[in-house]
Amino acid sequence: MDSLIYTLVSRGTVILAEYTNVSGNFTTVANRILTKIDPNEESKLTFVYESYAFHYISSDGLIFMTMADQNFKRRIAFAFLEDIKQRFLNSYGERGKTALSYGMNSDFSPLLKQRMIYYSTNKNADKLTKVQSEVDKVKDVMVQNIEKVIDRGEKLDILVDKAENFNEQAFQFKRSSKKLKWRMFYKNLKLMIILSIVLLLILYFIIAGICGGVNLKPRCIKKK
pTM of structure? 0.65
Question: Distance (Å, rounded) from C-alpha 85 to C-alpha 64?
Answer: 7
User: Are residues 38 and 104 located together in one domain of the fold?
Assistant: yes
User: Are residues 135 and 206 located together in one domain of the fold?
Assistant: no
* Peptide bond just before 110 cis, omega within 30 deg: no
Question: Distance (Å, rounded) from C-alpha 207 to C-alpha 29?
Answer: 78
* Peptide bond just before 218 cis, omega within 30 deg: yes
Q: Which amino acid is at 29?
A: V
Q: Which domain holds residue 146?
A: 4-161
User: Are residues 53 and 84 located together in one domain of the fold?
Assistant: yes
What's the pLDDT at 17?
Answer: 97
CATH code at position 43: 3.30.450.50
Question: Distance (Å, rounded) from C-alpha 119 to C-alpha 79?
Answer: 9
Per-residue confidence in pLDDT tens, the chain, 224 aa: 788 999 999 999 999 999 998 888 888 888 888 988 888 888 888 988 778 899 999 988 999 999 999 899 888 999 999 999 999 999 999 899 899 999 999 999 999 999 999 999 887 776 666 555 444 555 555 565 655 555 545 555 545 443 445 555 555 556 666 666 777 778 888 888 998 898 888 887 777 777 766 565 555 655 55
Of the candidates 161, 180, 211, which is a domain's last residue? 161
User: Are residues 29 and 92 located together in one domain of the fold?
Assistant: yes
User: Are residues 191 and 120 located together in one domain of the fold?
Assistant: no
| Counted domains in the chain | 2
What's the pLDDT at 39?
Answer: 86
